[in-house]
Amino acid sequence: MDLVPMVLRAAGLSLPADRVLDGKDPTAALAGRASSPHTYLYWRWGSSSAAIRMGRYKLIRERYSTNQDWQLFDLQNDVGETANLLAAKPQLAEHLKAEYERWEKEATGGR
């Protein structure tokens, strides 16, 4: 989570060397002085919904919605997420899905 690195930096402290933190300090990005320190942003809501964002693209799965499959959106051209690009960009969708699954396994310890 990005909160810990951001708070430590704001307090003038260093990141702990005795543990791995998956977060990165987003202060410069939030202030508009830099781009995001992340290649990917991940979301998970319980065991029902998941998403990953890479730049302008977002891959999302909402198990309790009408469409329970993965959907791919270009947020730069479709902020309302109305045009599912999954069929048009299958390689990108597979890449993002694999990256999400890698992260989820790491974040949950394989559970």
pTM comes to: 0.71
**What average pLDDT does range 2-16 have in this prediction?**
80
pLDDT in tens, 17-29: 887 777 777 777 7
Domain with CATH 3.30.1120.10 in the chain: 40-111
pLDDT in tens, 40-53: 888 888 767 899 99
Q: Is domain 40-111 given the CATH code 3.40.640.10 in the classification?
A: no
What is the distance between the alpha carbons of residues 74 and 27, in angstroms, rounded to a whole number? 26
**What average pLDDT does range 55-82 have in this prediction?**
88
What's the burial of 76, exposed, middle or buried (CB within 10 Å: 0-12/13-18/19+)? exposed
